[in-house]
Amino acid sequence: MPPYDDIPAAEITPESLYLDRRRFLRLGAAGALGALLPAAAAGCEQPRRNAADPDAQERPDRPTSYEDITSYNNFYEFGLDKGDPARNARTLRPRPWSVAIEGLVAKPGVYGLEDILRGVTMEDRIYRLRCVEAWSMVIPWRGFPLADLVRRVEPLPGAKFVEFQTLYDPEQMPGQRSRTLDWPYVEGLRLDEARHPLTLLATGLYGRDLPNQNGAPLRLVVPWKYGFKSIKSIVRIRFVERQPVSSWERANPGEYGFYSNVNPDVDHPRWSQKNERRIGELRRRDTLMFNGYGDQVAQLYRGMDLRRYF
């Protein structure tokens, strides 16, 4: 695994860039980024040729608007339509909040959110988030590496995986009254994935606290995986020896694998994963292996058959 300092500056963005959002929007995303950061460190890809249209240049990555990020969401605990979470998530009460740390750790317990955040260094990073339905966003997250929390609770030698669980409370999350999934929502990572410096516990976006519909007050962000791996409103983290069964894997194992790495060569049974539409854009773009983070994460899966372990 490369040390943290080897992560390209393009993946890390100063918090000050997002605190004055009105100025950011007035200048335009590309202008503000270009004015404050060198081109190679602006959270952007350089324009490249589109193989399907050699004369077209793909636009650089630029942050999706705050309005789109907070109004177009998958959060089935608040409804199945993309606009339902923004309409319905007001019932979620993100304070006070606690997270149970359980399983194969030296320091289990129920930790208040303030205890978890005490002493961590918040960082702002621009990450792509790609959903399995072949749409994507570029989001300026605020958070801290999950590895910091893993280190503090001291996993025992038998711990090989980390299991995450969303709040289960149908009064706050009325979508849990449906049978869409086997609630509560569960996700998991291998321990080395959880320790990877790109894996984030997010508490905000665009320099603000996370809105309810985006997973307040604490969510996972794993930028090289499909969006459903980035579990929201976390209340339980368990360190376990055996690979957890995630909610979508349990619901339909033929369509949703445990690893869920973005891979243009492995199609969803009902649609192609070879291209995507960035929210706010009309044209489609090629899907990048590991969502464009292959230089940082490909070594985690060396020797694995990624068609079998999808």
Residue for token digits 């959002």?
A: 21
Q: What per-residue confidence (pLDDT) applies to 33?
A: 28
Mean pLDDT, rounded, of the chain: 85
Domains of the chain: 4-301 (3.90.420.10)
Return contacts of 35-38, CB within 8 angstroms, 24+ apart. Answer: 37/9, 37/13, 38/9
pLDDT in tens, 35-54: 222 222 223 233 333 333 33
Euclidean distance between CA atoms 154 and 156, whole angstroms: 6
- The reported pTM is 0.83
Return contacts of 107-115, CB within 8 angstroms, 24+ apart. Answer: 107/152, 107/153, 107/154, 108/153, 113/217, 113/218
Neighbour count for residue 281 (Cβ, 10 Å): 15
CB 199 within 8 A of CB 142: no
Euclidean distance between CA atoms 220 and 202, whole angstroms: 6
Low-confidence ranges of the chain (pLDDT < 50): 1-59
Residue for token digits 């605990």?
A: 77
Euclidean distance between CA atoms 95 and 91, whole angstroms: 12
Q: What per-residue confidence (pLDDT) applies to 269?
A: 87
